[in-house]
Amino acid sequence: MGWFEGIADRIVGAEVKYITKPIGEALADGGIYILNAITDVMPEIGAGIVVVCAIGIMITGDIPKWLARMAVGVGGAIIWLLNA
């Protein structure tokens, strides 16, 4: 049975080398591309959060609620950009 295990090891090794590894590399490259794209538009996302919260303040008049939402949203955008 030793020869059979050697063949099985070569088949599994080839599977990892030619199938699994390229798929993992493609997924990693795609994830990096998406994160870079989000980082590139993060200032616009932060500005959009400010505009939405300003409109919410004007429509509802509930200033503390909308300021808290804006602080969380813009704070998240700033933290994202500082870590980029």
Q: What is the pLDDT along the chain (84 residues), one digit of tens a residue?
A: 566 667 777 777 777 777 778 888 999 999 999 999 999 999 999 999 999 999 999 999 999 999 999 999 999 999 999 997
Spatial neighbors of 38 by CB under 8 A, at least 6 apart, are 45, 80
Q: Assign residue 62 a region (left: φ > 0; alpha: ψ between -120 and 50; beta: otherwise).
A: beta
Nearest to 54 by CA among 81, 28, 73: 73
pLDDT of the residue at 3: 65
pLDDT of the residue at 4: 65
Domain map (residue ranges) of the chain:
1-38, 41-84
pLDDT of the residue at 9: 73
Structure tokens at 45: 């996302």
